[in-house]
Amino acid sequence: MAIDTVYKSITRGVAVQDEHIIKERLQNGLPLKGFWAGVETTVYYADTYAFLVNHDVSIERVAYRTKYYQFLITAILNSLGVPKSKISFVTESESFTYNPEFIKKEHQLSVLASQAGIKACGNEIDETPCFSPMLCPGRQALAEAFLGVHFQLGGEDQRGMFNFGNSVLPRLGFEQKAHLVNPLLPALSGSKMSSSKAASTKIEFLDSADDVTQKIMGCVYDESQLEGSGLLAMVQMVIIPFTRVSASLGIKRGFSCLLVNGEKKTYRLYDDFFSDCKKGRVSGDGIKAGVAEMINHILEPIRQSYASNKEWQDVTDLAYPC
Amino acid sequence: MAIDTVYKSITRGVAVQDEHIIKERLQNGLPLKGFWAGVETTVYYADTYAFLVNHDVSIERVAYRTKYYQFLITAILNSLGVPKSKISFVTESESFTYNPEFIKKEHQLSVLASQAGIKACGNEIDETPCFSPMLCPGRQALAEAFLGVHFQLGGEDQRGMFNFGNSVLPRLGFEQKAHLVNPLLPALSGSKMSSSKAASTKIEFLDSADDVTQKIMGCVYDESQLEGSGLLAMVQMVIIPFTRVSASLGIKRGFSCLLVNGEKKTYRLYDDFFSDCKKGRVSGDGIKAGVAEMINHILEPIRQSYASNKEWQDVTDLAYPC
């Protein structure tokens, strides 16, 4: 495959920090190892990070949540047809993070870091009076180095972390890393989707089909304000990418919407769909029905995986007790 | 020995925090293990602590300084006739501090600690913009637990650290520790003696006899302001305790001063000496001569140990290059 094609397939839909790191490896024919991408991929379960950041959750509960996410992410990857051979899984607390080499580097990094520099990494770190979250940025940066990845995928809210890592890693003898920066999905109600917001504002992986339909049919669609719409973002960032992955696996299932003229139209490109939205060719209800159908189609194999996995069900009760 | 006598010999000359911890062990006939005392004693070389606090000193230089202090402290203990069999030496970076059990407890402690609570441990932590000093209070508290000591000796400036440790250790399943709190020696010029102040304001262990004499003869002695005098503090906290230790080893050498009436008087109790100072029976020069003579007597075996130890000399050049 041409270098340009590979680069585009890795970076499609995300912003890129330090793209030269990825490009140079591709140009020199070197293997590419990332936290997440269509290359050699490492999924890193940052359970120690979770414990240090969520200082009101016990270490035992974090362990259950880690197990929960291991089941969930495996189910998601299976449902997307991602080949297991290309992925390695590393759990922070069971990895190199207790090796003396890691701890020594953590100390050296701490000496290089200022309190202000750490707090600048993000709101999660800056806004808490607790001490442990301050350990997170350094440990995340070192994880990139010890995993030996060349780039990491993370959300927009991770930019501060990524910059911090690149400011300290070279001073510790490690290479800088490139970063793929995922836009954050807006909530169905318009603002940022977050696990700390009301359940009705977001779709969860294990929501029932009825719940999904109800949440999506109940959300706001304002034809005069398409920017920032949670509904459209879901089409752009979840549904269209999903149809592209499906197509690459030989499954031809596009995103279909009922137009205001009564016809049904199937979209393979977001721009086409967005253009029709702007022209008023699709109604809010038409979009919602199409989105609900497709999201349910995407989630169904994950739900089935959960329904047939007693261990996952048990761990869910322990991880998220009512 | 009666419990009272042992307790007094352990706590002579120092303040005690949580004295019931020491007393209860003595009353129940349990062994006592401390960082420092006339019992089972552990000398803990906190080299990682030093690296984290002194963020402008390289890790290699800290290693040389650790070696330097190992030579120095051994020479001091030898010169005082302390039996080696009663002392164990532990160097932080070569100890349990890289064991996963320690690191896990460090994370749990970090979750319990607030940033403000850590900064309240002392000026060294509070006044720096650097991140690494914030790791020190937790690691020092955990070291007490992992060393299995029942009390720790430290300077007045460690009180914040001690309180912090006792506030978190029980929540991590460890026992609280007692603390012996050493008064800080004032500088010869009157204020606190510190390694960061000018050399002329303090006596260093390897100062030549001439340097010692010159520093002591040059210091201020104000008969109308005896409180806070660096010269008197040296008599109280170094010389009189030294004569007591010597006497217990069968060496009868008191602290002698020339009185203003021309006679020489030997003191075994600080109160006697202080009373004569107040009454003007001793002159400043007389005290200075007596102090200089005694300090040189104390330091001489340490100097000799240094002079005959090529390895110590070499490491000094690397630890403290001019």
Across-strand partners of B106? none
Q: Is B80 on the interface with A (CB under 8 A)?
A: no
What pLDDT does B34 receive? Answer: 67
Distance from CA of B191 to the nearest CA of A (A): 30
Residue A47 main-chain phi, psi, to 5 deg: -75, -35
* Residue B226 DSSP code: -
Mutation to test the A interface, candidates B47, B93, B110, B171, most A Cβ within 10 Å: B110
What pLDDT does A191 receive? Answer: 56
Chain B residue with the nearest C-alpha to that of A93: B104
CB B281 within 8 A of CB B274: no
Convert the pLDDT of each residue in A116-130 to its tens digit.
999 999 988 999 999
CB contact residues (below 8 A), chain B span 19-58, against chain A = 48, 51-52, 55
Q: Answer whether residue B304 shows pLDDT above 70.
A: yes
Q: Answer whether residue B14 shows pLDDT above 70.
A: yes
Convert the pLDDT of each residue in B162-209 to its tens digit.
999 999 999 999 999 999 998 888 888 755 555 555 677 789 999 999
What pLDDT does B196 receive? Answer: 57
State the average pLDDT over residues B59-72.
95
Q: Answer whether residue B50 shows pLDDT above 90.
A: yes
pTM of structure: 0.89
Q: Where are the alpha helices (DSSP H) in chain B?
A: 3-11, 19-27, 47-53, 59-79, 100-112, 115-119, 123-126, 136-147, 159-168, 209-217, 230-234, 240-248, 270-278, 284-307, 310-319
What pLDDT does A35 receive? Answer: 57
Nearest to A132 among B48, B98, B111 (CB): B111
Q: Which residue has the higher pLDDT, A166 or B222?
A: A166
Contact A117 B107 (CB under 8 A): no
Residues of A with CB below 8 A from B113's CB?
A: 130-132
Residues of A with CB below 8 A from B55's CB?
A: 111-112
Whole-angstrom Cα distance, residue A160 to residue A81? 32
Q: Is B182 on the interface with A (CB under 8 A)?
A: no
